[in-house]
Structure 1
Amino acid sequence: NSIFFLFKVDGKTIKAQIWDTAGQERYRAITAAYYRGAVGALLVYDIAKHLTYENVERWLRELRDHADQNIVIMLVGNKSDLRHLRAVLTEEAKAFAERNGLSFIETSALDSTNVDNAFQNILTEIYRIVSQKQIRDPPEGDVIRPQNVEPIDVKPTMNSDGVRKQCCQ
């Protein structure tokens, strides 16, 4: 399932296509195809079900194996409204995220706590990285660069008196 969202980052409108595989096994065969073009990923687990948190490591490994090395990844503990059923400690998830270079946030889809923040944070980080890359490596457009060409040394021409000739006179 996919859906498009529009977000504002630094005054610019960003269109994001979000794919939700819900961690289901039936999507595993096709996820590699989605990873190839992905610039960001939310690894979401249920704070009330430790097994979903345990699967995060496998999903992270899969992402790192198939996605671009610069993909921005955020670990998201969902259902923070179920504090009384918490099975995954915030500190445990935060430490995992830190060890693996991920950002981290807890959300609640039920009461909308931090949901917009999660998307805004990851899209802002993606935008920052893409903008820096474009500054470092500006797009070349339709410019064709020659390959394996030897440089030519052009020397000024001299007249018979040994004086450099003037051009275009």
Structure 2
Amino acid sequence: MAGVAWHYVLKFIITGDASVGKSSLLVRLTDQRFLANPDPTLGVEFGSKLITIPEENKVVKLQCWDTAGTESFRSITRSYYRGAAGCLLVYDVSSRQSFLNARSWLQDVREHADPHLTCILVGNKVDLCNDGPEGATPAQGQRARQVSTDEAELWAKEEGLLFVEASAKSGVNVEAAFETATRDILDKIRRGVFDDDRSPGVKLSKPANDSLTLESTPKKSGCC
């Protein structure tokens, strides 16, 4: 496939409660910087990133749709779930409510996205947490952890999700989250779970082209 910049384009969605750091994760992935005070996402935000999976000898372009975490935009963001090959389901490790609400977001994804979608549960903001003895007072600028790694990992396993804890601020495990999900999607492609021609979230680069045109941005009133 000489002359082709990448082998696959994969559509990802990033979902979860407002203020769990979805936009910051996307900016960390695409721009390698941290958004200290991001504006609330209105509807959806878009970003893309080329990643290399060496063991697969594949270069993959990720098209990532960061969806709003407020109820008022839920009907809009649901339309972006359709056709996604991957999903980052994000919660804040210092907010138990955001972890509990992840169940509702997962239900939405499963109702509206491709049934074969790969979903990875991402516990964000580990940099903020005090992981000292239980009951210890958090240091200045830190918060008490409200969701243990074991609890989140167990729920992810029960739901058939991949799992990682990350920090958009430090960059820890941000690329790893996307790469882990991408490897799982590539494995599904290899096994024929995703069809290159019929799965809208998986686009195969064409050998005749020197570059691949991105999917056109969906209108807010329609489906992606």
* TM-score of the alignment, normalized to the shorter chain, above 0.5: yes
Partner of 1:7: 51
Letter in 2 for 1:76: V
Residues 96-139 of structure 1, C-alpha deviation per residue, up to 9 Å, x if partnerless? 101100010000111111111101111111111122217x9786
Partner of 2:125: 79
The runs of 5 or more residues in structure 2 that have no matched partner are: 1-44, 131-143, 199-224
Q: Report the Cα distance in structure 2 between the residues aligned to 1:123 and 1:27, rounded to whole angstroms.
A: 27
Q: Which of the pair has the greater relative contact order for Cα pairs under 8 Å at 6+ separation?
A: 2
* Fraction of identical pairs, as percent: 40
Larger radius of gyration: 1
Residues 30-71 of structure 1, C-alpha deviation per residue, up to 9 Å, x if partnerless? 122111110110100000111111110000111111111100
How many aligned positions are there?
A: 139
- 1:62 to 1:137, Cα distance in 2 relative to 1, 3 A: closer
Q: Report the Cα distance in structure 2 between the residues aligned to 1:81 and 1:57, rounded to whole angstroms.
A: 24
Partner of 1:35: 81
| Residue among 78, 85, 96 paired with 2:155 | 96
| Residue among 121, 124, 129 paired with 2:183 | 124
Partner of 1:155: none
Partner of 1:19: 65
Structure 1 segments, 4+ long, off by >4 Å, are 136-140
Letter in 2 for 1:98: K
Q: Report the Cα distance in structure 1 between the residues aligned to 2:197 and 2:87, rounded to whole angstroms.
A: 25
Partner of 1:52: 98
2:110 counterpart of 1:64: yes
Task: Tell me how far 1:4 sits from its aligned partner.
Answer: 0.7
RMSD, matched Cα: 2.0
TM-score (norm 1): 0.76
Kindly indicate whether the alpha-carbon contact (under 8 Å) linking 2:189 and 2:195 is maintained by their aligned counterparts in 1: no
Partner of 2:6: none
The runs of 5 or more residues in structure 1 that have no matched partner are: 141-169
TM-score (norm 2): 0.58
2:173 counterpart of 1:114: yes
Larger helix proportion of the pair: 1
- 1:81 to 1:129, Cα distance in 2 relative to 1, 3 A: same
